[in-house]
Homo-oligomer: A and B are copies of this chain.
Amino acid sequence: MEESITQKQLDLLVDHKLAINTALTADKNDALAKMADALEDASDRILAANEQDLAKAQGKISDVMLDRLRLSKDRIKGMADGIRALISLPDPVGLVLDEHETPNGLDIVKKSVPFGVIGIIYESRPNVTSDAAALALKSGNAVMLRSGKDAFNSAEAIVEALKAGLAQSRISPDCIQLAQDTSHQSSQEMMTARGKLDLLLPRGGRGLIQAIVQNATVPVIETGTGICHIYVNKDADQEKALKIIDNAKTQRPSVCNAAEVCLVDAAIAGEFLPKLDRLFKGRVEMRADQAAKKYLPDAKAAGPDDFDTEFLDYVMAIGVVKDVKEAIAHINRHSTHHSEAIITEDPAAADLFTTMIDSAAVYVNASTRFTDGGQFGMGCEFGISTQKMHARGPMGLKELTTYKYVIKGNGQTRD
């Protein structure tokens, strides 16, 4: 049976992975600089390809999606600068994570190493193509990119530019492959490429991510969905609470670390909710549970799904809870384990909350919007993991590596 084009691309990556996995830091950084320059140099070609994608998509996808798909000289420069920003970050490969000598004289070193070959399946943001390729390269991984069909021409022009940059460097252009098959078949082959793909990272909406998590037999890191909560404890500084809720809900409602639910202690609901009402009036649609509705006469009554929905919009579910314990129970049941915050001046309530909440990031008196690789000091970000295995929360370069043990002896055998 003849191999599919996707299998051939995966095989090519496997053939080249040793070289990129063991590449020198200086060579990787030089390659990144050349990729960034080549990307800017190819602006006209990329914009022409992007026009093709836009023309095909017109009328078929929403205006928001069209805007995500659209490139400009400025956006391409932004993508190139994103690649350049990786150059100054420390190489995550080859770090000694642990070292010890055993009583019989074995020297055991635990060292960070790249995964090998990473696969990335994403939707229609063309910038993911260059971001993902650059992060994979800096972390020493060969990479198979699988762009959404809508952005394929743009992705192809971007990858062509990146490969032109690599051709000037000591890293082989073959280390980056863009899946040429844009049918469902290529995703399916990537999801089941055991022994070829060491890690698969989906980036996109809930549907894409769930389909991959459910169907992949290669290791996957689940990213994305954030039903983030802000809980206002009875001992909150209410002005702080209003400022934080406003920021978490409205500063950028379309992202996964924006808050979707506000819970308020019953003891202060009568005082606090009218203030929230004044703050949100005409700006944020509130959907209140029965107890909250008492103090929010103009709010919509929350429907059965409103406490389990990632609105990604100027909408917030508002609920009243008895106390911090009830808040914790509600959040652990309804959250997507992304980011949650307590607003309180009571250290005991804060401790209980941070200990008991089962989420990647748990905040005291701060906005959930800070869950981000850049804000966490990683210098870059490859999505937010909402699973517990391998990486949790923001993923930077380090999360794209694994480790191995190197053991040196002088003839030791086991008794």
Contact = CB atoms under 8 A, between A and B. Distances in A.
B404 A362 contact: yes
Max chain B C-beta neighbours (<10 A), residue from A115, A243, A364: A364
B358 A388 contact: no
Nearest to A222: B219
Interface in A236-259: 237, 240, 243-244, 246-248, 251
Given A213-B217, A219-B389, A244-B413, A407 B363 contact: yes
A408 B213 contact: no
Interface stretch (A31-39, A174-182, A299-307, A367-375): A367-375
Given A198-B388, A388-B116, A359 B247 contact: no
Contact of A356 (B18, B100, B358, B369): B18
A409 interface: yes
A350 B251 CA distance: 55
A354 B407 CA distance: 9
Interface in A290-310: none
A191 to B, nearest CB: 12
Nearest to A19: B356
Contact of A393 (B217, B404, B410): B404
Contact of A412 (B213, B219, B362, B367): B367
Interface in A55-87: none
B217 A408 contact: no
A243 B411 CA distance: 8
A214 B363 CA distance: 37
A406 B370 contact: no
Nearest to A215: B217
A377 to B, nearest CB: 6
Interface in A331-380: 332, 350, 354-356, 358-367, 369-371, 375-377
Given A332-B18, A369-B413, A404 B102 contact: no
Contacts of A370: 106, 407, 412, 414
A199 B356 CA distance: 19
A19 to B, nearest CB: 10
Nearest to A371: B405
A186 interface: no
A97 to B, nearest CB: 11
A404 B385 CA distance: 11
A369 B246 CA distance: 59
A414 B375 contact: yes
B414 A369 contact: yes
A151 to B, nearest CB: 28
A22 interface: yes
B377 A102 contact: yes
Contacts of A402: 388-389, 392
A283 interface: no
Interface of A: 18, 21-22, 100, 102, 106, 108, 115-116, 194, 198-199, 213-214, 217, 219, 221, 237, 240, 243-244, 246-248, 251, 332, 350, 354-356, 358-367, 369-371, 375-377, 387-390, 392-393, 402-414
Pick the 4 closest A-B CB pairs, nearest first.
Answer: A366-B409, A247-B413, A388-B402, A369-B414
